[in-house]
Structure 1
Amino acid sequence: MANRRDFLGTVMTGAALAAAGTTATAKSAGRVIGANDRIRFGLIGAGARGQEILKPAIACENVECVAVADAYTGRFAEADKIVPGVKTFQDHRKLLEDPSIDAVLIATPQHLHARHFIDSIAAGKDVYQEKTMAFDADDAREMRNALDGSGRVVQVGLQWNSSGGVQKIRDRVKAGEVGKPTLVETHHFRQPTHGGWVRPIPDGFDPSQVDWNAFQGDAKRVPFDADRFFNWRFYWDYSGGNVFENFVHFAAFWFAVLDLDVPESVVSSGGNYLSPKMNVPDVFTVTMKHREGVLFTFTSMFGNGYYEPGRTCLFGDKGTVVHTLADVFHVVPAGKREELPAPKGSFKNPTPQHLANFFDCVRTRSEPNSPFDIGFRSAVACRMAVEAFRRNATVRWDPATETII
């Protein structure tokens, strides 16, 4: 697990086993789940987000969590509190060997998504893949290659696409209420510095509890660092900062509403002014130019909560859609200015509905609300934003070679 060559070797081994029809893979891939059958799932990555999705997952109808995998054994006791008696593994591949597991939820750090996704597909499991789906364009293509022809159901953890707002706003746009949309303006502000992401080192922490090589994956090799492990969102080696944490949700939502492809070009600028513990910026803007004739902007700020919980405006020549992450929206006709009141007590995270949609699609073999394609497009757009920021230059997408240039 030391480098990309080892990673690809693992992938090829998994693909070869799948083709050969090993017992575990054959049983997982071949099981037909009926409408009343119980779905057995495993969780890969039992940190904060993993536990957040585990709780509503086990509340879904007729499902059962049977195993949890994490590079840090200190999380096993926390998982056991949520699912008493759950099996635990430090190596995710051991979980995938269980032929009774139908699906996996993957909530590991972003740089590990491709590894865990590809191994899961090769093992014949349906996948709920947390966002941002892929760390870079290479990973996105490798994940797509693994998925093609597998017959697996994939839901990407872009839960706002299960809120109902996508279809409602799309219908209003298609009805011509905003005319020709040409600008999407989005914001995500948080009052705490460091985005509220600071994770303290647990009391009594012992580095021997962590499989450091497994955590590093294909990132550059560095000596063990507890801060890198617990606060991985602060480091470019493992994270895309708030681009990968929250911009991706806006991108996926409006890409679905407007049927936008990967942007033609992206520019990004900003800095880190109040959050010195982070490598990633705490104030920045992203501007994406789309071939469909739409300009898409995102502004992120830590240290100020003015735009919380994330107000968005879609501007057309006949009207404007004002939308919030509480899934409240209003269409304002051209020539009028009407502010949407800030929601009070109406914020409802649609993660439970998103997980329920995934399990329903595992049974019916239908396409989920956030399928692989929207995960691919939004992940590449996010990587373009990161590359534009780090290069301090405009980056472009070459659709012929599917590379960022």
Structure 2
Amino acid sequence: MNNNKTRRSFLKKAALGSAAITSTPYIYASSYKEELFLERIYEKREYSANDQINLALIGSGIQGIYDTTSALKVNGVKLVAACDLYTGRLDRAKELWGEGLFVTRDYRKILDRKDVDAVIVAVPDHWHKRITIDAMKAGKAVYCEKPMVQNFEEGHEIIKVQKDTGIICQVGSQGMSSLGNEKAKQLYEDGAIGEMVMLDMYNDRYSSEGAWQYPVPPDANPNTIDFDAFLGRAPKVPYDATRFFRWRNYKDYGTGVAGDLFVHAFSTLNFILSSDGPNRALSTGGLRYWKDGRDVPDVTLTFYDYPETKTHAAFNASFRVNFIAGSGGGGGFRLVGTEGEMEVSSNSVKLTRSKLGMTPSSYSLIAYTEENQKKILKAHSLANPENRKSELNIGETTYKAPSDYKGGHYDHFYNFFQGIRGKKEIIENPTFGLRAAGAALLANESYYQGKPINWDPKSMKLL
């Protein structure tokens, strides 16, 4: 990163803003604590029935419902069909979106429909690649839930098909298009925290639901669930409702903690820094509490190395997830630089800038005579004539989304539909999606192999 991206260059900017994301100017003081509000400007337009985007949902489970609910808040979007392998979810789709909704257990019937313009792919991870590729080949724009793929090789196939077809494909890390991410990117590029040193991400949970022990409905049976279709290319096993409804707990269908949670952090981190991602990962952890048949850990700690690039210095990243956090739970995402730090969420950014302690203190001076102490302090003052300047403009600013902000999930779908209409570039295309998913999947590779894993973030391949 260019060395002029420092506090000094940052402080020359009296106001940080753009047409889409703005805030009031900085209030300069020797030390301050303030709150500023962000703003989002959306296109104001109503669409006729002929101009609307007809949407279909493939995978009407928990995330699929949340995705569709957010998507339908965007003007000019209508849900016309839903697919799931459990009939109870199809009944639920009709409860939510009307009895006239077309429903099926075969996603191919969705892709055959001429009235479907775009699909949400919110199925278990091991189905992402096939359905995403089939949908693009059928001419449907795709919003594919994260992680984009279950393994590295699949990502390159999706990238190729997207380039060959030219079909819009957005990967769904919900907070990617948020006000918080955009403001953090702007602040970083303006030099607000200096050069990157480390990233600290943690997610603590303390509930069975947080540990993916989702309820199994009373009517679950081989007649209401197409279990063979669910298995797909995964190893064949007898009907097991627990595997169907709690698929994240199994390597055959999911990607564990890394694919569920790390990938969000990598999406945000790579976006803020304009980075291709890390080049090395070392992971540890274990199954400490939720010993319910799952074969993925419930405690994971992974350390990543990011190489120096044109947009950031070399730095380290720490990712930690604990599904049995006796503290009660919580989470954080903190970028630490040489001159400050940012705590980032979809709805806010807290920027803290501090003074670097360079003046000898009583701790080290205690070993010298009073006369030598005075000489040391005088010599230090003469050698650092700008030390007083470093004491100015230190403090804390929190940038917050307004109370009526529609949220990062809405913004990500807004970007998707604007992309379909040719009005915006897709913010998380398949290449971006593989870089985020690939970095996350390195944690699994390292954990199960018991060794560090090297990765080429540009070519997106294991070394």
TM class, shorter-chain normalised?
A: 0.7 to 0.9
1:76 to 1:370, Cα distance in 2 relative to 1, 3 A: same
User: Hey, what does 1:109 align to over in structure 2?
Assistant: 124
Instruction: Please state if 1:57 is matched with 2:68.
Output: no
Identity, in percent, stands at 32
Q: How does 1:3-402 map to 2 (within 5 A)?
A: 37-84=51-98, 85-193=100-208, 195-277=210-292, 278-292=294-308, 293-304=314-325, 309-335=330-356, 350-364=408-422, 366-398=424-456, 402=460
- SS of the counterpart of 1:310? strand
Partner in structure 2 of residue 6 of structure 1: none
Give the residue type in structure 1 aligned to 2:51.
D
Which amino acid counterpart does residue 389 of structure 1 have in structure 2? Y
Divergent runs of 4+, >6 A: 33-36, 336-341, 345-348
CA deviation digits over 1:205-240, x for unaligned, max 9? 221222222211221222221111111011111112
Structure 2 unaligned spans of 5+: 1-46, 309-313, 357-393
User: SS at 1:116's partner residue?
Assistant: helix
Q: Determine helix, strand or coil for the equivalent of 2:126.
A: helix
* Closer/same/farther in 2, CA of residues 400 and 356 from structure 1, 3 Å limit: closer
Unaligned runs of 5+ in 1: 1-32
Instruction: Work out the CA distance in 2 between the residues paired with 1:62 and 1:194.
Output: 34
Q: 2: distance between equivalents of 1:153 and 1:197?
A: 31
Deviation at 1:309, TM superposition (A): 4.6
Match of 1:13 in 2: none
- Paired residue total: 372
User: More deviation in 160-169 or 80-89?
Assistant: 160-169
Report if aligned partners of 1:194, 1:275 keep a CA contact under 8 Å in 2: no
User: What letter matches 1:390 in structure 2?
Assistant: Y
Change (3 A) 1:282 1:326: farther
Contact 2:347 2:408 in 1 (8 A): no
Choose 297-306 or 58-67, whichever is displaced more: 297-306
Distance 1:138 1:67, change over 3 A: same
* Cα shift at 1:323: 2.5
- For each residue in 1:111-165, what CA deviation from the matched residue of structure 2 results, as whole angstroms up to 9, or x when unmatched? 1100110000110011111111111111111111111131211221112111122
**Range that drifts further, 80-89 or 329-338:** 329-338
- Mapped to 1, the partners of 2:348 and 2:397 lie a distance apart of 15
Question: Residue 159 of structure 1 aligns to a residue in which SS?
Answer: coil
Query: Does the CA-based 8 Å contact 2:126-2:149 persist in structure 1?
Result: yes
Larger proportion of helix: 1
Q: Please tell me the residue identity of whatever aligns with 1:43.
A: L
CA RMSD of aligned residues (A): 2.7
Equivalent position SS for 1:209: coil
Check whether the contact 2:56–2:79 (CA below 8 A) recurs between aligned residues: yes
